[in-house]
A and B are shown apart, each in its own frame.
Chain A
Amino acid sequence: MRTIASFIALNRFGLGAAPGEADAIGDDPRGWLSAQIQPSAPLPEALRGFRSSEAIINGILSARLESPEAQQRERRRAQEQDFDAEMLARASQMITTRAPLAERLVLFWSNHFTVSSARRQIAPAIPSFEREAIRPHVFGRFADMLLTVVQHPSMLVYLDNTYSIGPGSPAGLRHLQRNPTRTTLNENLAREVLELHTLGVHGGYTQADVIQFALALTGWTHGGVRRGDRPRHGGFQFIQRHHEPGDKTVLGQRYAEGGVDEGVQILNALARHPATAHHLATKLVRHFVADDPPEAAVEQIARVYLETDGDLGRVMQAVIDLDAAWADPLAKVKPHYDYVIAVHRAAGQGAPHRRDIVQPLRLLAHLPFTAPSPQGWGDRAADWIGPEALMIRLEWVNRFTSRLPGGVNPRAVMEQSIGAVARDVTQTWVYRAPSADAALTLLFGSPEFQRR
């Protein structure tokens, strides 16, 4: 059944149709999606066997004890064997999976909680960050994802919290004696959690809240910071000596001195805050419905979020249940990554060749885990389709189709991928193309294929 609804299920909520997938959905696209909401699904086969962030970071830190050259060597090795290999395995998983909804949410939340390889120190451990902190929670509780993310060494390093020391803590007072004008507090993580991860920039917090929250997060670091007798490790570590003593007040709520629990409690309160519900609902509706999210849909999703205490599985079911999500099959544009994945899926050639992932995404400045800032990538059509980006997509897809084996039938691929929404003009020119390669390039270059 190649209906508009199945196109929407496969594209709006999926990663594009693989051959035969539209038929496999049957006549219940919403049910097909709902069945993919599996809160305790095991880690996909393709992603097993990769090292933990703790092992990767520990390896780099231990090498540092030897020599700077040894650390350099270890980082380069990890970049290849951990980062590159897992990035490719992840692409392969997304190309071959028949449960794409979870993968879409991995991409969504990974972008929401951006950690970028702009920080070389933790770069090799970013795919593992996604596997450990994002993937297990996409149908779980937002509060759990938030806490795991904020305690993850990759995020703690990326947003500088490993350097943040309470000015009134034992370590901070020692600093102050030596450098009376220097502040030891780093607000970066606290600010971005409030602005980007939870309440949103208009979520009603003040600079004082940022500072108080940052004070509560002092001492949150990883095991590599500690010198001396303790063995180094690459996991989360709370260092009491760095932690600002005393009560903290965030958003009018007082948190009694409680060491690591202060931060945990504040994060839990932030996860339950109505501004967080509205912020996350806006982003989800923008992602799955329209660039300009309809307010009624946002309110509906925010309501479900609050009623279910941030149960992301039920929130996602509510997004699927939005009528607005099923109204316009071509309202959104596929981001570059999703486009490259969709082309591979439609061509039905299984696991990708490294160059077909890396080359287009490098040229399009959209390699995974390289977002230019903690805000991550945008989510509107104008973020993806400009003159230069469009030409790079077309030139890459032209080269991609020229390498496909001869047996790929453009008519079948069109029917399977965009059959339900292809306009007459697109069908006409795909049929009239001078060669199979040209037909496939035109098909993959069509607005119907690039939209969702």
Chain B
Amino acid sequence: MLTRRRFLHLTGASLAASLAASRVAFASAPTDNRFVFVFLRGGLDGLHALAPFADTDYQRLRPSLGLKADQVHSLDGYFGLHHGLGALMPLWQAGEMALIPAATTRYRDRSHFDGQNLLENGTGQPFGAGDGWLNRAIAGLNGGDQRLGLSLGPSVPLILQGQARVQAWSNEQLPDLDEDFLARLAIVYRGDPLFAMALGEATGAPEPDMGGASETGNFQIAAHAAADLLAQEHGPRIAVMELGGWDTHVNQGGRLTGLLGRLSAGLMTLHAGLGPEWSRTVVMVASEFGRTAAENGNAGTDHGTGGLALLAGGAVNGGRILGAWPGLSNRALFEERDVLAVNSYEGIFKAILTGHLGLDPAYAERVVFPGSTDLSPMDGLLRG
């Protein structure tokens, strides 16, 4: 059963003084557009989610794992969507979903840890910065006291860590603390910025209405909460959600069917929960890297390079496969094993930040993704 986690609304006078710095001033937000980043940690096999089922190289590389025409929803006669993502087909048909194969970050090695860190810090180097690119972008949007960023889950991921204060939400089961206690604690926390800031950010934030929620599974519950908070006028605008389990070295067929089903259920929960705001939403689903083009001997795939980006939302110029596609011939593969990453996540991120959220392009180049000027914002992602 779903339990309701009540966020703390702190009011009393003593508290107002002690928490002055964390009070939310409802200035108008710099943008009314919404962005949700869904991070699939572990390395999603892009060739399994969006299968080039009509490609003979694909079937040659994947004699047992390769999806056949009757196992996919064909999108253009060449690429097909894994049946686990079938729930998303209405979005595709409405022109609200685009797919970008052969895409990844600037990372070219095969460590989850480094690959995720690079994707999140935005510098092009693992551990190149101690904060996240999305947090820097939020700082650049200058939302004043309004917390534009929202993290779903018990800990804030690196991509959202940094100077800009963000809100966090997770499905929860313990009783709330009383306001008087929190006021005292806020005084004790003065002088310890780590604790003072965390407490400040946990309090005074808007709360999602989980009353009618009927979803099961953490990802869907998080999607319900994210949609409800993002739909609020003075709520956050940018959310990060995570779904793990994609490191499918072994028996990936069954595991991915379940995971892709959960992913699509969560995305459709966002779609339903955002209501009219869906029309100004971009959701991007991405993973730290793709996987090997060939299957391994264990009906799985190993760490690779080019992966997938999935975009959904009413603001997406969808119903199409975007970006270049290098194919899977031996000569086209990166290091003779991986899909060549001809499309860059940074280019997609920049298009969303500048074209959708209104971030200054010069700031995006200089501060959010330093050293990436050769990766231009991707054209044609957004509705005109």
Residues of A in contact with B (beta carbons under 8 Å apart): 118, 160, 163-165, 175, 179, 181-188, 191, 195-196, 201, 207, 333, 359, 363-365, 372-375, 381-392, 394-396, 398-399, 423, 425-426, 429, 432-434, 438, 441-442, 445-447, 450
Contact = CB atoms under 8 A, between A and B. Distances in A.
A441 B168 contact: no
Nearest to B249: A160
Which interface residue of B191, B194, B335 has the most chain A CB atoms within 10 A? B194
28 contacts: A163-B296, A163-B298, A181-B60, A182-B295, A183-B296, A183-B297, A191-B111, A196-B113, A201-B113, A207-B335, A333-B194, A365-B155, A382-B161, A384-B155, A385-B195, A386-B168, A390-B199, A395-B176, A398-B181, A423-B191, A425-B187, A429-B184, A429-B187, A429-B188, A433-B184, A442-B184, A446-B188, A447-B189
B195 A388 contact: no
Interface in B190-206: 190-192, 194-195, 198-202
Contacts of B172: 363, 392, 395
Given A387-B201, A388-B202, A447-B189, A373 B184 contact: no
A349 to B, nearest CB: 19
Given A363-B172, A442-B181, A386 B156 contact: yes
Contacts of B63: 179, 181-182
B59 to A, nearest CB: 10
B61 interface: yes
A395 B195 contact: no
Contacts of B86: none
Contacts of A183: 294, 296-297
Given A181-B60, A183-B294, A446-B188, 20 more contacts: A163-B249, A163-B298, A187-B302, A207-B110, A363-B172, A363-B173, A382-B156, A386-B168, A386-B201, A387-B168, A387-B199, A389-B155, A392-B172, A395-B172, A395-B176, A395-B177, A396-B174, A426-B188, A429-B184, A447-B189
Contacts of B189: 447
A395 B175 contact: yes
B174 A399 contact: yes
Q: Which 3 A-B pairs have the closest CB atoms?
A: A184-B297, A387-B202, A395-B174
Which interface residue of B155, B170, B190 has the most chain A CB atoms within 10 A? B155
A260 to B, nearest CB: 21
B178 to A, nearest CB: 9
A201 B155 contact: no
Contacts, number: 162
A374 to B, nearest CB: 8
A372 B111 CA distance: 14
A373 B113 contact: yes
Nearest to A438: B181
Interface string B39-78: 0011000000000000000001101100000000000000
B170 A185 contact: no
Contact of B113 (A363, A375, A432): A375
A219 to B, nearest CB: 14
A181 to B, nearest CB: 6
Interface of B: 41-42, 60-61, 63-64, 110-114, 126, 151, 153-156, 161, 167-170, 172-177, 180-181, 184-185, 187-192, 194-195, 198-202, 244-245, 247, 249-250, 294-298, 300, 302-303, 335
Nearest to B113: A375
Given A372-B41, A373-B42, A399 B245 contact: no
Contact of A447 (B161, B188, B244): B188
Contacts of A187: 302
A186 B297 contact: yes
Nearest to B8: A391
Contacts of B60: 181
B296 A184 contact: yes
Contacts of B167: 387
Contacts of B297: 163-165, 175, 179, 182-186
A191 B181 CA distance: 49
A429 B298 CA distance: 60
Which interface residue of A179, A183, A441 has the most chain B CB atoms within 10 A? A183
B198 to A, nearest CB: 4
Contacts of A425: 187-188, 190-191
B195 A450 contact: yes
Contacts of A374: 112
A185 B298 CA distance: 9
B156 A381 contact: no
Given A425-B190, A429-B184, A386 B41 contact: no
A388 B41 contact: no
A441 B202 contact: no
A195 B113 CA distance: 10
Given A382-B161, A399-B174, A390 B155 contact: no
Contacts of B249: 160, 163, 186, 188
B114 A201 contact: yes
B181 to A, nearest CB: 6
A374 B41 CA distance: 12
Nearest to B165: A387
